[in-house]
Amino acid sequence: MSDLPWGPALLFCPADRPERYAKALERADAVIIDLEDAVDPAARPAAREALIGSQLDPARVIVRINPAGTLDHVADLAAVRATPYRTVMLAKTERVSDFAALDGLRVIALCETAAGVLRAPEFAATSGVIALMWGAEDLVASLGGTASRHADGTYRSIAVHARSAVLIAAGAFGKPAIDTVHVDIGDLDGLASEAEDASAVGFAATACIHPGQVDVIRAAYRPSEEEVAFARDLLAAAGEQQGVFRFRGRMVDGPVLRHAETVVHRSEARG
């Protein structure tokens, strides 16, 4: 699976708070300037003007735009095309035709409705789509539900299913997947657990909504020194073996070697 061009911590920033843009980008690996849910509809025209007037590193900026078929979508695209930013996150992606107006842009398809999750493989197969992301709260709302999580903070089964479906769809077409935000800002232990799981199963990044979550995500995606040392030793031992072999009490075959290669790759990519 291909990597994202950024590190694993992607920080949302409301588009109507331009004084926060640079600070968010400084703290995170990339900033997602949000023209959709984070901005009151009445404030969106001013938010677009703020986006146009901003001067950030285009390589590390993602702009979340409103869903296709809305007037806000048209206005958002006009604003984006007046900037040097060329990566957009399309909110509530539901059909391939939603990408019709996005030529020349790198697109992250946000699968956060029932239709979006079902069609995730189609999105991943589409040229110009560089990644998939899923969203829990809008998904449950689209189903007529009221909560994506149990009282203890763990995801309900429908959210677990959607998360897995989007990850598998992305992987099937060699595209990276982004895990959704942990909305309980104070629950850093819960965030750490989810980000560690995301890294372990193959997500390329986790989105977040507060600067205090960034370091937790980075740590979760960064292999430990012990994990890296074991992976390097395993790969070195594999060079002297043919076929399946035993290493420090465990059976090693092709998939295990690929796991080790991923650990080493991540350690090098993330310092």
List residues forming the annotated binding site for Mg(2+): 112, 138
Half-sphere exposure at residue 129, Cβ-oriented, CA atoms within 13 angstroms: 31
Q: Which tokens belong to 263?
A: 């650990």
| Residue that the structure tokens 């020349």 belong to | 104
104 φ/ψ sector (left φ>0, alpha ψ -120 to 50, else beta):
left
What element of type H or E holds 267? helix 254-269
Neighbours of 14 (CB within 10 A): 21
Separation CA 266–CA 111 (nearest Å): 26
* Strand partners for 129: 107
> Which residue numbers belong to the known binding site for substrate?
64, 112
What gap in Å lies between CA 138 and CA 35, rounded to an integer?
A: 16
- Annotated binding-site residue numbers: 64, 112, 138
- The helix/strand/coil state of 144 is coil
